Amino acid sequence: MRRLSVISIGSMFALAVGCSDDPAPSDASTADVATLDTGSDLGAADAGTPDVPAAPDVPAAPDVVDASAPVDVSDGGGPACTLTRALVTTSDYVTGGYGLGPIGPTPALTVTGAMSPDQDHVPVTSGCIVYDLLRGEDVIAVLDPAMLPTIARRIPLRMMGTPGVDAGAPTPYSANPYDVLTLSPTRAIVAQYALPRLGVINPSLDGAAGVVGTIDLAPLRSPADTDGSLEASNIVRVGASIFVTLQNLNSYVPVTNGTLAVINADTLSLVDADPATTGVQALALSGRNPVSMVTTPAGTSIVVAEAGVVAFSAPQTLDGRIERVDPTTLRVSGMSVSETALGGDLRGVVMLDENRGWAVVSRVAVADASVADNRVVEFNLSTGTVGATVVTAGDIAGLARDPAGNVWVLDRTTGSAGVRVYRPDGTALTTMTLGTGSQPPYGVAFVP
């Protein structure tokens, strides 16, 4: 299952989406969610901490659940759960809050009144565990599903001198958690955007004891990438393999094509995606700067959106694409959809079926660089074509497909901010924007 993660475009944008809706029982990822990258390419140095994969866990027996209800089948070895609500995080870049409400039959949101410890916070549901990624604090907050958004445990990724965590000054975004994937009730993988390695945590423990190891990504670094981080952002799981997007940026600029780290879910060791080449190789993408990665609903394919060079003013360089990756052959396959056809820089995608999806794109006005719009656009990977525009707004933070197949769109446009929900055919389920109070929506996850 996957949280909408923040769309990592290597830019200054700030958004996050995280939800739990993966279809295949073997997939414990937070997979159909798009998120926006806050652009913290900090280049933290590797402190040389040991890689200590946690021992394999014994899966708990699954509970019996109502087969007619939306279920988090990517249960990470624990009991399955029914996903009935949406948890929306909000932020005005100064303070953060939450909204909570039912997914259906009529979507709704109520502002909880609770304040987040961090204004840059991204919700993720994975393996029926609800997380809030406190990025500026470098903390994984494990939430109490019975009392959302109450924090049950806090796992700090930035602890000076703690094994498995970086030593050094406690500066914000030293680790910058971008995504989390639950493998079992006592083991999860964290994408650390500012570090050259993944974190391994035990979500059942509180405090520094919750950090139990790391996975070194340094063997996958391109010689052109010299800033100390590979910018790991999104995580999905397909069967026995874990896939992690690596943006390969220096100062927000891609220095080489994007890649996917492939990891054995049992041993937590890197998998060589190209045995014919010397060394351990990542899976090579066709484009640069992967900003979003999801699995298709049936779990047969991985779909990656690559933004290329992101323009902050006109003229825009539309050099990105959406493409499909075969998780078995570890190769890009089939047709792709270009940013030129989509009409803007990619910010995130969701897949509605094995071929059809929606993408968030950002367009900068040629005549006035201070004017831009964001759009949700249909596309089809089987034909490589673009369809209708579903919605246009000043600032769309991200979008996510809920367990019923409907799509939640996070609109941060000043004066009309809120959440809009659409059926897969583009019909609006919400007659008006679901309000999020004084702060616009920042991320969303679907929770028990």
Ranges of each domain in the chain: 71-447
Burial of 224 (0-12, 13-18, 19+ CB in 10 A): exposed
Angle at the Cα of 11 from the Cα atoms of 8 and 12, rounded to 5 degrees? 115
- Within 10 Å of residue 239's Cβ, how many Cβ atoms? 12
Distance of CA 17 to the CA centre of its chain: 6
d(CA 231, CA 220): 12
How distant, in Å, are the alpha carbons of 24, 29, 186, 275, 383 from that of 287? 27, 23, 36, 21, 19
pLDDT of res. 80? 87
The terminus-to-terminus CA distance of the chain in angstroms comes to 13
* Residue for token pair 């394999």: 56
d(CA 400, CA 20): 10
d(CA 360, CA 382): 19
User: pLDDT of 335-344, one tens digit each?
Assistant: 999 999 999 9
pLDDT of res. 32? 43
- pLDDT tens digits, the chain, 448 residues: what are they? 443 333 333 333 334 456 433 333 333 333 344 433 333 333 333 433 444 443 333 333 222 223 333 445 444 666 789 999 999 999 999 999 999 999 989 999 999 999 999 999 999 999 999 999 999 999 999 999 999 999 999 999 986 544 455 555 568 899 999 999 999 999 999 999 999 999 999 999 999 999 999 999 999 999 999 888 999 999 999 999 999 999 999 988 999 999 999 999 999 999 999 999 999 999 999 999 999 999 999 999 999 999 999 877 667 889 999 999 999 999 999 999 999 999 999 999 999 999 999 999 998 866 555 567 899 999 999 999 999 999 999 999 999 999 999 999 999 999 999 999 999 999 999 989 999 999 999 999 999 9
Task: Find the helix or strand (DSSP H, E) in which 341 lies.
Answer: helix 339-342
Closest CA to 375 of 387, 390, 365, 386: 390
Phi, psi of 184 (to 5 degrees): -160, 170
pLDDT of res. 181? 98
What is 410-439 written as a DSSP string? EE--TTT-EEEEE-TTS-BS-SS-B--TTS
Q: Are 6 and 18 in contact (CB under 8 A)?
A: no
Q: Which amino acid is at 386?
A: V
Residue 414: both structure tokens together:
């000043």
* Residue for token pair 């953060």: 96
User: pLDDT of 253-262, one tens digit each?
Assistant: 999 999 999 9
pLDDT of res. 14? 35
Angle at the Cα of 253 from the Cα atoms of 252 and 255, rounded to 5 degrees? 130
Residue 390: both structure tokens together:
């579903």
* Residue for token pair 């990470």: 76
> Does pTM surpass 0.75?
yes
Task: Find the helix or strand (DSSP H, E) in which 443 lies.
Answer: strand 441-447
Phi, psi of 146 (to 5 degrees): -85, -15
pLDDT of res. 9? 32
Q: Are 394 and 414 in contact (CB under 8 A)?
A: yes
pLDDT of res. 15? 46
Alpha helices in 168-242 (DSSP H): none
Residue 35: both structure tokens together:
């998120």
Q: Are 83 and 94 in contact (CB under 8 A)?
A: no
What is the CATH T-level fold of the domain 71-447, as seen in this structure?
Methylamine Dehydrogenase; Chain H (2.130.10)
pLDDT of res. 36? 37
pLDDT of res. 135? 97
* Residue for token pair 């948890």: 87
d(CA 34, CA 13): 13
